[in-house]
Chains A and B, each alone.
Chain A
Amino acid sequence: MVQEMDLLKRFDAYIDSDQKIEAKDWMPDAYRKTLIRQISQHAHSEIIGMLPEGNWITRAPSLQRKAILLAKVQDEAGHGLYLYSAAETLGVNREELLDALHKGKAKYSSIFNYPTLTWADMGAIGWLVDGAAIMNQVPLCKCSYGPYARAMVRVCKEESFHQRQGFQIMLNLCNGTKEQKEMAQDALNRWWWPSLMMFGPNDESSMHSAQSMKWKIKRFSNDELRQRFVDMSVPQAELLGLTIPDEQLKWNEATGHYDFGPIDWSEFEAVVSGNGPCNRERLATRVKAHENGEWVRAAAAAHAAKVAKRKSLKTDAA
């Protein structure tokens, strides 16, 4: 007991002095659990997030755009990999994390439960969804858990390219034909509010926030990050010549920020709890991919075992 107290003291001192906690360091159970939950949710979001954009790779309207989109979605798979690896440093394995996802026990970002209906959605996702992800993720590069922080550094490097390619798609559409511009506006209309919801509940109703801030897993509150995102996006929308679908959006001279209208939290709750337009489909797609791959993974494992056995026979004989 005394020993545990000492360890906790040392852990707290580490956190207070902004030193990184590493995989082998002692950490409180709750800290470990919080990290596993957050990192695995994040990893799941990356791989579920491949689906809405993957939906348009085969239909990308030019070879250049196809190459960029394919590279982008491939990056997201890479992010999934880094993050599963970061989670594995905490004593879980990818297989069990995936199992929790497939059984509907683990969450992922709700934004990916919305459908991608037109090419402009590739623009809106890159611009807004990756934009919001950057807002959320840049502070994580400094989070207290070393392996997570380092994974996020790699992730963030690629995210800015994602946002740029999305904005470029929007810009091309807005400089294009009347139909293209309408497509862009329609995409903004559909993705704006779900993007604001990506920052999570308001601060007063956010369950995990306070403790995570104390542990320096989280560095800024949901509402702070959301405000930054709005402040960043409004001038970008102006540049595109698009209208953000919020009649209450207004510059506030006194605060130096944009005021914006209330978020429909009932929609957020519905999508988080499984009732969004694509929840069932996204999960079913992942489950099917995993099940269809079962025989392949089994074959790879069997082959690896045979190779190892042949090798050991050889060394025995030698």
Chain B
Amino acid sequence: MNSENHQLLLRLGDDALILSQRLSEWCGHGPALEEDIALSNIALDLLGQARSFLTLAGAREGLNRTEDDLAYLRSDREFRNALLVELPNGHFGDTIMRQFLFDQFALLRYECLAAQRFDLDVAAISAKALKETKYHAEHSAKWVIRLGDGTDESHEKIQESLNTLWVYTGELFEPDTVTSYCTNNGLISDPDQLKSQWLESINLVLEEATLSLPSSEWMQCGGRNGIHTEHLSYLLAEMQVLQHKYPGAKW
């Protein structure tokens, strides 16, 4: 398979894997039992998506790498997830806002990927992922509304989360050779179109939540090329600890 296809699979797999890893940090620490369950559920779905995409990436590249090789034996410079998903959890509002911004993007991306007929394996994984993502997007949107509309304190907090995370959203729609490959082959709509759809859907929710869109135009990119924030290396050090300590062991 060509390298753009490989890059696409890594982006899909790594976005899901790293976000799942972050969400799983919440397990046992959520604001209520119901949220412990909901966040673990979402983490589990994302983990399943990651496993499917990474397995496919490994199978296609012809190097005999498994999902675990790709997850546990790559360095942060080799990961291709968006910066947004690797950011630390912060408080519940930060986590929810990160999830909301990503879910709305993932929804559009999976809608395209599930409908195309250029890459049937990807279409099949995406169709399942789309169903899951609809539920995730509903969950995060509801919470954005609750927190935005709830108390003065929650309103202030979630607005602040949006302001902080905003600069990481541009990367989701950054055009490059991989997005051109996707557009040219009908895999995913072109980034500009995707972005305007995304803006439209997040605006609906933000309006109901009485939150305002930050005005900052500058956007932080780099994740798609392996230039991450300082946080990813720590996340991976924790995630990969046993694989590094006991190379080759089976678990």
Give the residue of B35, B41, B238, B246 whose beta carbon is less than 8 angstroms from that of A58: B238
B29 at the binding interface (Cβ < 8 Å): yes
Residues of B59-114 contacting chain A, CB below 8 A: 67-68, 71-72, 91-93
A253 at the binding interface (Cβ < 8 Å): no
Please give the number of chain A residues whose Cβ is less than 8 angstroms from any Cβ of chain B in the complex: 50
**CB distance A303 to B145 under 8 Å?**
yes
**CB distance B242 to A70 under 8 Å?**
no
- What's the Cα separation between A49 and B222 when bound, in Å? 40
The 8 A CB mask of B32-71 against A (1 = contact, 0 = none) is 1111110011011001101100100000000000011001
Give the residue of A50, A61, A81 whose beta carbon is less than 8 angstroms from that of B28: A50
For A50, what are the chain B residues with a Cβ–Cβ distance below 8 Å? 27-28, 36
A116 to chain B, nearest CB (A): 12
Name the prevailing secondary structure of the A interface residues. Answer: helix
Of B31, B91, B157, which is in contact with the most chain A CB atoms at under 10 Å from its CB? Answer: B31
For A294, what are the chain B residues with a Cβ–Cβ distance below 8 Å? 31
A255 at the binding interface (Cβ < 8 Å): no
Stretch from A31-39, A174-182, A192-200 at the B interface: A174-182
**CB distance A74 to B40 under 8 Å?**
yes
B220 to chain A, nearest CB (A): 25
Give the residue of B145, B154, B249, B250 whose beta carbon is less than 8 angstroms from that of A298: B154
**CB distance B251 to A63 under 8 Å?**
no
Specify the chain A residue showing the minimal Cβ separation from B243: A61
A164 to chain B, nearest CB (A): 16
A92 at the binding interface (Cβ < 8 Å): no
For A288, what are the chain B residues with a Cβ–Cβ distance below 8 Å? 29
- What's the Cα separation between A71 and B40 when bound, in Å? 8
B239 at the binding interface (Cβ < 8 Å): yes
Name the prevailing secondary structure of the B interface residues. Answer: helix
For B24, what are the chain A residues with a Cβ–Cβ distance below 8 Å? 57-58, 66, 70
B186 at the binding interface (Cβ < 8 Å): no
A299 at the binding interface (Cβ < 8 Å): yes
A62-B251, A74-B40 are contacts. A296–B92 as well, Cβ < 8 Å? Answer: yes
B160 at the binding interface (Cβ < 8 Å): no
**CB distance A58 to B33 under 8 Å?**
no
Residues of A37-77 contacting chain B, CB below 8 A: 47, 50-51, 54, 57-67, 70-71, 73-74, 77
Residues of B127-179 contacting chain A, CB below 8 A: 145-147, 149-151, 153-154, 157
A84 at the binding interface (Cβ < 8 Å): yes
**CB distance A47 to B68 under 8 Å?**
no
B116 at the binding interface (Cβ < 8 Å): no
B204 at the binding interface (Cβ < 8 Å): no
A223 to chain B, nearest CB (A): 33
**CB distance B44 to A303 under 8 Å?**
no
A10 at the binding interface (Cβ < 8 Å): no
For A302, what are the chain B residues with a Cβ–Cβ distance below 8 Å? 149-151, 154
B160 to chain A, nearest CB (A): 13
A285 at the binding interface (Cβ < 8 Å): yes
For B250, what are the chain A residues with a Cβ–Cβ distance below 8 Å? 172, 175-176
A58-B239, A119-B251, A295-B157 are contacts. A70–B33 as well, Cβ < 8 Å? Answer: no
**CB distance B242 to A61 under 8 Å?**
yes
Residues of B210-242 contacting chain A, CB below 8 A: 238-239, 241-242
**CB distance A77 to B33 under 8 Å?**
yes
The 8 A CB mask of A104-119 against B (1 = contact, 0 = none) is 0000000000000001
For B242, what are the chain A residues with a Cβ–Cβ distance below 8 Å? 59-61, 119
**CB distance B31 to A58 under 8 Å?**
no
- What's the Cα separation between A62 and B54 when bound, in Å? 13
Specify the chain B residue showing the minimal Cβ separation from A94: B33
- What's the Cα separation between A262 and B251 when bound, in Å? 34
For B28, what are the chain A residues with a Cβ–Cβ distance below 8 Å? 47, 50-51, 54, 73, 77, 285, 289
Give the residue of B27, B93, B151, B153 whose beta carbon is less than 8 angstroms from that of A57: B27
**CB distance B44 to A177 under 8 Å?**
no
**CB distance B44 to A299 under 8 Å?**
no
**CB distance A63 to B44 under 8 Å?**
no
For A70, what are the chain B residues with a Cβ–Cβ distance below 8 Å? 24, 27, 40, 43-44, 47
A277 at the binding interface (Cβ < 8 Å): no
**CB distance B33 to A303 under 8 Å?**
no
A306 at the binding interface (Cβ < 8 Å): yes
Sample (28) of A-B pairs whose CB atoms are under 8 Å apart: A51-B28, A54-B27, A57-B27, A58-B24, A59-B238, A59-B239, A61-B72, A61-B243, A63-B67, A66-B47, A67-B48, A70-B24, A74-B41, A80-B33, A119-B242, A176-B249, A176-B251, A177-B249, A179-B249, A180-B249, A285-B28, A290-B31, A293-B30, A295-B154, A296-B147, A296-B154, A299-B147, A303-B145
The 7 closest A-B pairs by CB, nearest first: A293-B31, A299-B150, A299-B154, A61-B242, A296-B31, A74-B40, A50-B28
B interface with A by C-beta (< 8 Å): 17, 21, 24-25, 27-37, 40-41, 43-44, 47-48, 50-51, 54, 67-68, 71-72, 91-93, 145-147, 149-151, 153-154, 157, 238-239, 241-243, 246, 249-251
A interface with B by C-beta (< 8 Å): 47, 50-51, 54, 57-67, 70-71, 73-74, 77-78, 80-81, 84, 119, 169, 172-173, 175-177, 179-180, 285, 288-290, 292-303, 306
